[in-house]
């Protein structure tokens, strides 16, 4: 019998299983999709998740986890964090507040907007949220002590929310800045930019100031090393075609592994990701979880990522192009019957000389759009038309695109984008807008041996929320998540993003 069964295809599930096996618990991680965490073809390698990961900075959450597991990783610090490319503008998202202010003033000139006060509020908000999360990684108060600690911070939250909203309302008068900050939110958060809580938005805007890093060779290498770590600690990672979950005094999972093979495993506790395709059917089929099902159905996925994978000649890449970019393309990506949710495309480019991603003198390029409907619900014809329009949109940036393409397989990209909806987080919105707007769903359930995980739970924290969610799910059974805890305080180390002197912007 397993002590911990984890069911899911995402980073949250992986983190829960890694920590469980590291603690010496008999652990099995079950996944039910048939694509790896990368796509390799013609000498190119693409991460299935094209968006940047945060937490690589010194004492960052991901740095601490990998260090604790003795898993080395090579990264390249990026500054700018990414570029936003308008038809008539080039705008850098930088890793320094003073430089960012200068960049904004260079683009739109000095006006009545006080950008220094705006970024002071952003940094103060991030400091508050980072401390809150560090003190209580669940964010939602679960004990009387946590509840009263939270209450003590509410006046500060309300004041910062008002201050940020006041400054941001003025900034939204600039369509250029409004689009820039919307793109930044889509890059670093799992939330819909429309109607987002001001505190969640401020937190997302602060993330580039921690210094964004590019993992050499691809993020999939980190995922693979984490899976191998599970196995080296005696755990099991198994892919299967279908899973049937039953929970009573013990957990029973009926598994079909394909080719007519089926078997049953049992465990004491189970962690289930919201990205598991059987998650909602399980909730709806168990009356004991009806309250969780009601809360889950209040959350709406609004932005669905669709990615093209392209191999391109290095000579065609502009010299100052970043590893991460966003292109605004209003004419091509917008019309009255459009499938595009935003007039933005996100570009992830392999680093110069990264031979793990592309052959010599070539670069791997992932181009991602957000669609109004899931690729699962769109036809091949519709997605091919989407692909053609995406390619036309990047021709302005890469004028010799057609002559420079070394590899592209649109049909395979369509297939991958459909399947990875079960592992990659869309962008979500909640019908209610709580003061923090960070946590959309709790790990807790009415069943003592069932816990929930997934990036959706802490959507306001983006990729780092996925990690914390996985650790929280395990903590509900073990009471111990010290792989990212501060050795002196015992608190989860979600570091403060900035030194205090950064708040004193001249």
pLDDT in tens, 238-286: 988 888 999 999 999 998 876 778 889 999 999 999 999 899 999 989 9
Mean pLDDT across the chain: 87
Residue 398 or residue 413, greater confidence: 413
Both tokens of residue 263? 């078997």
At a CB cut-off of 8 Å and minimum separation 6, what does 125 contact?
160, 164, 199, 202, 203, 206
The pLDDT, as a whole number, for residue 197 is 84
89-96, Cβ contacts within 8 angstroms, sequence gap of 24 or more: 89/176, 91/176, 91/180, 93/180, 93/184, 93/208, 94/208, 95/208, 95/209, 95/210, 95/211, 95/212, 96/209
CB 461 within 8 Å of CB 438: yes
- Give dist(CA 312, CA 406) in Å, integer: 5
Angle, vertex CA 323, rays to CA 317 and CA 328, nearest 5: 80
Asked if residue 480 has pLDDT above 80, the reply is no
pLDDT tier at 110 (50, 70, 90 boundaries)?
low
Contact by Cβ (8 Å): 340, 369 = yes
Q: What is the pLDDT of residues 314-341, one digit of tens each?
A: 999 988 889 999 998 877 777 655 889 9
Pair of tokens at residue 484: 């990212």
User: How confident is the model at residue 404, as a pLDDT?
Assistant: 92
- Write the CATH number for 64: 3.50.50.60
CB 339 within 8 A of CB 373: yes
DSSP letters for 363-398: EEEEEEEEESS-GGGS-HHHHHHHHHHHHHHTTTTS
Query: What is d(CA 40, CA 38) in angstroms, rounded to the nearest whole number?
Result: 6
Tokens of 218: 């691809």
Nearest residue to 188 (alpha-carbon basis) of 495, 466, 374: 466
Q: How far apart are CA 157 and CA 121, in angstroms?
A: 11
Reference 291, options 157, 167, 452, 139; nearest CA is: 452
Number of domains in the chain: 1
Of the given ranges (178-192, 205-219, 429-443, 479-493), which has the lowest mean pLDDT?
A: 479-493
- For residue 296, the enclosing domain spans 1-506
pLDDT of residue 210: 85
Determine the average pLDDT of the residues in 452-472.
Answer: 93
pLDDT value at residue 487: 37
State pLDDT tens for residues 162-200: 888 888 888 878 888 888 888 999 999 999 988 788 888
Please report the pLDDT score of residue 434 as a whole number.
66
Residue 482 scores a pLDDT above 50: no
Asked if 223 and 39 touch (Cβ cutoff 8 Å), the reply is no
Give the integer Cα–Cα distance in Å for 270 and 278: 14
Q: For position 194, what pLDDT does the model report? A: 85
**Separation of alpha carbons 314 and 264, rounded Å:** 50
- Whose tokens are 């080039």? That residue is 90
Please give the Cα distance from 408 to 196 (Å, whole number). Answer: 36
| pLDDT at 496 exceeding the cut of 60 | no
pLDDT tens digits, one per residue of 294-317: 889 889 999 999 999 999 999 999
Q: Do 453 and 16 touch, CB atoms closer than 8 A?
A: yes
pLDDT class of 69 with cuts at 50, 70, 90:
very high
Give the pLDDT score at 485: 44
Q: Residue 500: its pLDDT value, please?
A: 41
In a 13 Å sphere around the CA of 405, the CA atoms on its Cβ side amount to 14
Answer whether residue 484 shows pLDDT above 60.
no
CA–CA separation, 127 and 495 (whole Å):
9
């Amino acid at each position: 019998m397993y002590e911990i069964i984890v069911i899911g295809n995402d980073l949250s599930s992986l983190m829960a299983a890694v920590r469980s096996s590291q603690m010496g618990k008999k652990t099995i991680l079950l996944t039910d999709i048939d694509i790896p965490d990368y796509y390799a073809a013609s000498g190119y390698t693409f991460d299935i998740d094209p968006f940047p990961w945060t937490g690589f900075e010194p004492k960052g959450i991901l740095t601490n986890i990998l260090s604790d597991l003795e898993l080395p990783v090579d990264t390249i610090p990026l500054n700018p964090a990414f570029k936003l490319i308008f038809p008539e503008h080039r705008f850098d998202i930088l890793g320094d507040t003073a430089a960012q202010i200068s960049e904004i003033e260079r683009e739109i000139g000095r006006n009545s907007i006080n950008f220094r006060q705006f970024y002071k509020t952003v940094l103060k908000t991030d400091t508050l949220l980072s401390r809150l999360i560090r003190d209580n990684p669940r964010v939602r108060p679960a004990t009387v002590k946590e509840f009263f600690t939270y209450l003590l911070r509410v006046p500060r939250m309300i004041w910062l929310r008002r201050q940020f909203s006041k400054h941001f309302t003025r900034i939204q008068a600039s369509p250029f800045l409004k689009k820039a900050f919307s793109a930044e939110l889509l890059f670093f958060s799992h939330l819909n930019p429309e109607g987002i809580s001001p505190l969640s938005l401020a937190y997302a805007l602060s993330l580039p100031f921690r210094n964004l890093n590019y993992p050499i060779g691809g993020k999939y290498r980190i995922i693979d090393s984490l899976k191998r770590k599970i196995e080296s600690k005696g755990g099991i990672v198994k892919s299967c075609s279908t899973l049937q979950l039953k929970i009573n005094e013990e957990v029973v999972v009926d598994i079909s592994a394909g080719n007519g093979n089926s078997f049953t495993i049992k465990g004491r506790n189970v962690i289930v990701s919201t990205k598991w395709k059987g998650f909602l059917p399980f909730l709806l089929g168990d009356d004991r979880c009806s309250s969780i099902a009601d809360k889950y159905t209040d959350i709406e996925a609004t932005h669905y990522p669709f990615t093209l994978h392209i191999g391109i000649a290095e000579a065609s890449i502009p010299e100052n192009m970043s590893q991460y970019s966003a292109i605004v393309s209003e004419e091509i990506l917008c019309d009255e019957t459009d499938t595009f949710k935003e007039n933005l495309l996100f570009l992830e480019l392999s680093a110069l000389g990264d031979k793990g991603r592309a052959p010599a003198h070539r670069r791997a390029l992932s181009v991602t759009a957000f669609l109004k409907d899931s690729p699962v619900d769109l036809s091949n014809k519709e997605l091919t038309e989407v692909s053609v329009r995406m390619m036309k949109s990047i021709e302005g940036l890469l004028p010799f695109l057609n002559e420079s393409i070394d590899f592209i397989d649109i049909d395979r990209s369509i297939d991958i984008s459909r399947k990875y909806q079960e592992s990659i987080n869309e962008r979500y919105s909640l019908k209610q807008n709580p003061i923090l707007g960070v946590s959309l769903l709790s790990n807790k359930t009415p069943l003592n041996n069932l816990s929930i995980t997934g990036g959706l739970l802490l959507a306001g924290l983006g990729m780092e929320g996925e990690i914390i969610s996985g650790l929280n799910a395990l903590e509900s059974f073990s009471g111990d998540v010290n792989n990212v805890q501060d050795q002196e305080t015992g608190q989860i180390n979600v570091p403060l993003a900035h030194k205090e002197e950064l708040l004193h912007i001249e």
